[in-house]
Amino acid sequence: MDAIAIFAVVLDSAIRLSVPLLCAAMAGLWSERAGVVDIGLEGKMLVAAFAAAVIAAQSGSAWAGLGAGILASVMLSLVHGFAAITWRGNQIVSGVAINMLAAGLTVILGNAWFGQGGRTPTLEGAARFGEITLPFAQTLREQVPGFGLIYDEVISGQSAPAYLALLAVVLTALVLKRTRFGLRLRAVGENPAAVDTAGISVAGLRYSAVIICGVLCGLGGTYLAVSQSAGFLPHMTAGKGFIALAAVIFANWRPWPALWACLLFGGLDAVAIRLQGVALPGIGQVPVQAIQALPYLMTVILLAGFIGRSTPPKAAGLPYVKER
């Protein structure tokens, strides 16, 4: 394979690995910009993956699976909202609880229903999201050297949830920056008292943010189980929710940089898979674990202010108490 073909293959797998990160990062971004810290992204994705796999297997429709995944994830979001917004509980504690609930429930229910150690039945045909070939993929590949190959391998041939995830980034950026709802939502994460004074419901805005967060986690989880894999495996999110959280921090809570951070982290993962057992000239064999550790390490270094400065929303994590 020549260099450009290798590049196309690695880029393709980077994008595939970034899609769940991207969904969860956008989810976290919505929630945190509204002032609700969410470390339960992982749990919501896991529950969504499970619900999506179960319903897709039963109904034979991947889209029904997506619906179920989103529904399950939104339910957990509402639990988080109920604790964090209505009862002004500790948002970190609630997030930990949601992660544990999700990790336990999915295995128990999966085991009780299907008896395969927590796996769900293998999805086939329409029960799984297939690859969508964009127009002219073949023609461009044959006629335009370089770009044509990238277009066919990377841009075309992804599944519907992957394109939806990209759409989610565009929408998130647009809505947060350009609409009244987005402005109010950002305001509620910076200074809820001001929003309250203006006569707008703080709880209402925060609940809508938390629900959007649930929908996006649902999309990410569904992608994992119904598109990337052909069914649910116990603990299949494997820390992706936390890497997404890292991406949000890395991107300073902004949508477009979050896209690049997710692509970077997904790319690192793809490179780690590619470099497994390969000796690089001059460096020798790079331990895969070193590459896998990079997203976490980079986030810690960034948070410590050694590169750049992270400025989270001012009211993130703080319950809003109306003055009487």
Partner 1 sequence: MSAAPIELPRWADTALVPLVSVAAALAVSGLVVIGIGESPLEATALLLRGALGSAEGIGFTLYYTTNFIFTGLAVAVAFHAGLFNIGGEGQATIAGIFAALACLWLAPLPGLLLVPLAILAAAAGGALYGFIPGWLQATRGSHVVITTIMFNFLAATLTVYLLVEVIGKPGSMQPETPEFAAHAVLTPMHKLLAPLGITLPSTPLNSAFLLALAALVAVWALIFRSRLGYAIRTVGANPRAAAYAGISPARITMVAMAISGALAGGLAVNEVMGVQHRLLLDFTAGYGFVGIAVALMGRGHPVGVALAALLFGVLYQGGAELSFDKPSITRDMVVVIGGVIILFAGALDGLFRRAVAALLRPGRAA
Q: Which residues contact 112 (CB under 8 A, 6 or more apart)?
A: none
Q: How far is the CB of 7 from partner 1 (least distance, A)?
A: 26
Which of 94, 14, 40, 8 is CA-nearest to residue 267? 14
Q: How far is the CB of 87 from partner 1 (least distance, A)?
A: 4
Q: How far is the CB of 317 from partner 1 (least distance, A)?
A: 9
Q: How far is the CB of 48 from partner 1 (least distance, A)?
A: 17
Burial of 63 (0-12, 13-18, 19+ CB in 10 A): middle
Nearer to partner 1, 101 or 137 (CB): 101
DSSP run (H or E) holding 131: strand 131-132
Nearer to partner 1, 103 or 275 (CB): 103
Q: How far is the CB of 244 from partner 1 (least distance, A)?
A: 12
Cα distance between residue 67 and residue 47, in whole Å: 13
Q: How far is the CB of 270 from partner 1 (least distance, A)?
A: 17
Amino acid identity for residue 313 in this structure:
P
Which of 91, 101, 112, 89 is CA-nearest to residue 38? 91
Radius of gyration of the CA atoms of the chain, in A = 20
Nearer to partner 1, 148 or 312 (CB): 312
Q: How far is the CB of 95 from partner 1 (least distance, A)?
A: 8
Whether residue 110 contacts residue 118, with contact meaning beta carbons closer than 8 Å, is answered with yes
Nearer to partner 1, 163 or 296 (CB): 296
Total residues belonging to the chain: 324
Nearer to partner 1, 283 or 304 (CB): 304
Q: How far is the CB of 128 from partner 1 (least distance, A)?
A: 26
Nearer to partner 1, 112 or 198 (CB): 112
Burial of 111 (0-12, 13-18, 19+ CB in 10 A): middle
- Can you count the helices (H) and strands (E) in the chain? 13, 4
Nearer to partner 1, 281 or 305 (CB): 305
In the complex, the residues that contact partner 1 under the rule CB under 8 A are 39, 79, 82-84, 87-94, 96-105, 107-109, 111-113, 115, 239, 242, 245-246, 249, 287, 289-290, 292-293, 296-297, 299-300, 303-306, 310, 319
Nearer to partner 1, 84 or 185 (CB): 84
Whether residue 17 contacts residue 270, with contact meaning beta carbons closer than 8 Å, is answered with yes
DSSP run (H or E) holding 69: helix 62-81
Whether residue 247 contacts residue 77, with contact meaning beta carbons closer than 8 Å, is answered with no
